[in-house]
Structure 1
């Protein structure tokens, strides 16, 4: 867990002067070396698919396992098989730890190919990879419990003990508990179990929490939505509609702690969120907290990640992966009590019969009160816009020429989305 798989793969690539690919024992991609050859034949469909989809087909897996790679203790040369899509000879370096295969390093074979001395040096690096995979797998079986305890414990000795246990499991230093991390929330997650940590490169810990931990219950019924609209590229949200914004009973949210190389390099966390969304139910969203060093603010990071995921569900233009730093007013709105009812002045407007008025009012406020821009985005005449806005004022008793009244209405409509 304290190493960097990409660095080790790059080391093997340099030793053997060929791009290497690291997969786990289930043929899931972990890391791959840069491919800078101008020879298109240096790639084949199997390697391309592995890199693009991060996995191999069952048929390809069975083909390679037929050469005894799961039992091998040294390099295995595998001949090309064009009928199977394997156009190039390969060298497989089994990654083992204490006699157990945990993964494979793959290289496209060349002529004359790597020497025995080069392969021996590469196998030594593969052993280091095996140690890291074993440490990560061992920690992954325990960290779900400790990680969940940190995110759910009240402040006090129980929280301090959970953080201490998580710190011990992760190890210290910049590549462990003291290094840069980012929290990710994916909701709704389809099961109560977190995926194995080894299946998600860069993940330090994963756990599931009740879906309500990341989703606020709807404050009140709201109008049904019409077609999406945009105003100058800013607003592509549906009118506020609380239907479906809360996960069904029994669903969960997935929390992921992702290691980063630096606080200003969030790409590993974003990649993890994108990959997890492919395994989640349709309509799931993800949120990422601001990166932090160490474990002292994990609960705050979880609130940020969960709030960003909620914001992505409420405002589709922010998703499907939203970063806390980019959700604007939802940073404040998601901190409000979850059972907070709509402001009494806005309640009459939220009747389903006024869906067009809600849509018009929100888009008008999103556009900074610019009538011509709003009318163009809605595809209506400006006089029609003025009529609708007057109806909004009649229903709410608010004066849209007053800044505070406009702020109240704007925040109330955004809150209704949550």
Structure 2
């Protein structure tokens, strides 16, 4: 290893020191990695592996300049580092041309065995991990949050088991829980008697290879209440099962759809428990998909999305209540998990994550108008369920469909402005950005005007007046001068509106019979409203 170069990733740096200069040389240090080194991949081009951020790729099958094509191939995923056998100076000449900024390149001596490099790398990765209890506890919190969100949507208490029926998480109890649920929680798995009963009913066989919920009628002889179960499966891998028991009130009519979404959401969480990968609620992926260049390619690779397919972004505004703290974080977790369950039910590869003060949902493959209409209906369900189960008054906007992921980021500003429009009184709670073209364009115009103020003493005097004259005049202009409609919108008598309009016109020195005066007044008043400077109605 040269004295001049140091790897940006500290685990890669420790790996190099452990191997020593006689076995490995740092050729290209790489910039700050998208993810720290987490696992080792020994592969060649034929494998088509997951070689994204967090990966050290040990490149088999070619050395030096002959490895150029394979380097290009693996560099597309922006791994943390690539190791290839060959001369350091020869590789240094090609590194900058083919590697993304985040990826380090290591030249390994031809006589060094790849098994030795992999063993040392895994030792360094293990040494950098948190304590054994720390990471499972974080993932366990995620599972309990999913259980609570699912219980709220399904209308009954939830149990999540792994593939061996061991208890992983459960929601809070409600009235009417039966002995099977109590025993499964206390014993951390079903009793032998209950397991035999479920096996006799064919439950385990029915859920192992299917994404269809299984409904079990109540059994008075055993005291088992009605429940619904679904398998948590990824391909041919059975990871676990999700149970919802009916309590004193009926389960939701949408129980099947809720469980399908929850099972897909949980499939990703249970895979995390196997390979320590991060959650599908991924702010890093959302931000990456809205970016460009290497970052976008890496995020698409991690998410399993085709960068060439059409995609759309949804922005959800779900304001939290109270001061920041544990309660606010819990509510945010509930909101994220509820949205993630709905999103997974709509599309398995949907990506959800917080983005600033909003929550973003990226959906790929939006190639048909019907899919956009279906997504709008699902957003209406999300907004309604957020209010019902978390008390959050949410708004959601579907951005324009981009022809590919590279152009998705360009749709974000209009979607963000559209979400701000939906926060205005009288607006719908869910809309497509195309439906908000006029108010979005008006907001862009007002933003361009910035701090502009017209040289009009009358309008300045009107805005300085602390009463209800200015907001009443604005409402009157936006209702096309219709006194009755203005009165209904403000909740006052029409005579009150007529008096206020007359006083406002006198104070502002306006001729409301003039189109120019009306246009100027409405523009100035809307600009004041946009700045938060419009007087209150009082």
Instruction: Give CA deviations for 1:132-186 in whole Å, capped at 9, x if unaligned.
Output: 93399757458421322444x5xxxxx222322232233346xx87255342231
TM-score by length of 1: 0.55
Please tell me whether the aligned partners of residues 186 and 284 of structure 1 are also in contact (alpha carbons under 8 angstroms): yes
Aligned pair partner of 2:382 in 272, 292, 301:
272
- Say which structure is richer in helix: 2
Change (3 A) 1:29 1:399: same
Change (3 A) 1:82 1:354: farther
Q: CA deviation at 1:367?
A: 1.8
In structure 1, what is the equivalent of residue 172 of structure 2? 58
Aligned pair partner of 2:475 in 363, 383, 388:
363
Please tell me whether the aligned partners of residues 353 and 359 of structure 2 are also in contact (alpha carbons under 8 angstroms): yes
Hey, what's the Cα distance between the residues in 1 that align with 2:223 and 2:529? 49
Instruction: Give CA deviations for 1:193-225 in whole Å, capped at 9, x if unaligned.
Output: 783585443472223233xxxxxxxxxxxxxxx
* Matched pairs, number: 306
Please tell me whether the aligned partners of residues 182 and 257 of structure 1 are also in contact (alpha carbons under 8 angstroms): yes
Q: CA deviation at 1:331?
A: 0.8
Please tell me whether the aligned partners of residues 229 and 242 of structure 2 are also in contact (alpha carbons under 8 angstroms): yes
Aligned pair partner of 1:332 in 429, 434, 441:
441
Q: CA deviation at 1:400?
A: 2.0
Hey, what's the Cα distance between the residues in 1 that align with 2:513 and 2:222? 70
Structure 2 residue 467 is the aligned partner of structure 1 residue 354? yes
Q: RMSD between aligned alpha carbons?
A: 4.9
Change (3 A) 1:395 1:186: same
In structure 1, what is the equivalent of residue 242 of structure 2? 104
Q: CA deviation at 1:75?
A: 5.1
* Secondary structure in 2 matching 1:254: strand
Q: CA deviation at 1:368?
A: 0.9
Aligned pair partner of 1:171 in 304, 307, 311:
304
Hey, what's the Cα distance between the residues in 2 that align with 1:385 and 1:142? 50
* Secondary structure in 2 matching 1:208: strand
Higher RCO (C-alpha 8 Å, min separation 6): 1
In structure 1, what is the equivalent of residue 267 of structure 2? 133
Q: CA deviation at 1:361?
A: 1.0
* Secondary structure in 1 matching 2:232: strand
Instruction: Give CA deviations for 1:62-98 in whole Å, capped at 9, x if unaligned.
Output: 446653789x96458977367999644x574532459
Q: CA deviation at 1:402?
A: 2.1
Please tell me whether the aligned partners of residues 146 and 166 of structure 1 are also in contact (alpha carbons under 8 angstroms): yes
Runs of 5+ consecutive residues of structure 1 not aligned to the other structure: 1-23, 31-45, 109-125, 154-158, 211-251
Instruction: Give CA deviations for 1:376-403 in whole Å, capped at 9, x if unaligned.
Output: 6654355x54443233233334332222
In structure 2, what is the equivalent of residue 13 of structure 1? none
In structure 2, what is the equivalent of residue 145 of structure 1? 284
* Secondary structure in 2 matching 1:369: coil
TM-score by length of 2: 0.45
Structure 2 residue 359 is the aligned partner of structure 1 residue 254? yes
In structure 2, what is the equivalent of residue 207 of structure 1? 353
Change (3 A) 1:328 1:413: farther
Hey, what's the Cα distance between the residues in 1 that align with 2:389 and 2:524? 34
Structure 2 residue 190 is the aligned partner of structure 1 residue 67? yes
* Secondary structure in 2 matching 1:353: coil
Runs of 5+ consecutive residues of structure 2 not aligned to the other structure: 1-142, 160-170, 208-213, 247-259, 321-327, 531-538
* Secondary structure in 2 matching 1:393: helix
Change (3 A) 1:402 1:337: same
Change (3 A) 1:317 1:368: same
Structure 2 residue 500 is the aligned partner of structure 1 residue 395? no
Hey, what's the Cα distance between the residues in 2 that align with 1:84 and 1:297? 58
Please tell me whether the aligned partners of residues 312 and 402 of structure 2 are also in contact (alpha carbons under 8 angstroms): yes
Q: CA deviation at 1:130?
A: 6.9
Taking the TM superposition and a 5 Å limit, the aligned residue runs for 1:151-162 are: 151=290, 153=291, 159-162=292-295
Structure 2 residue 439 is the aligned partner of structure 1 residue 316? no
In structure 2, what is the equivalent of residue 229 of structure 1? none
Please tell me whether the aligned partners of residues 233 and 239 of structure 2 are also in contact (alpha carbons under 8 angstroms): yes
Please tell me whether the aligned partners of residues 209 and 254 of structure 1 are also in contact (alpha carbons under 8 angstroms): yes
* Secondary structure in 2 matching 1:101: strand
Structure 2 residue 300 is the aligned partner of structure 1 residue 195? no
Please tell me whether the aligned partners of residues 319 and 392 of structure 2 are also in contact (alpha carbons under 8 angstroms): no
Say which is worse superposed, 281-290 or 187-196, in terms of deviation: 187-196
In structure 2, what is the equivalent of residue 36 of structure 1? none
Hey, what's the Cα distance between the residues in 1 that align with 2:395 and 2:265? 34
Hey, what's the Cα distance between the residues in 2 that align with 1:376 and 1:369? 13
Hey, what's the Cα distance between the residues in 1 that align with 2:224 and 2:460? 64
* Secondary structure in 1 matching 2:354: strand
Please tell me whether the aligned partners of residues 188 and 280 of structure 1 are also in contact (alpha carbons under 8 angstroms): no
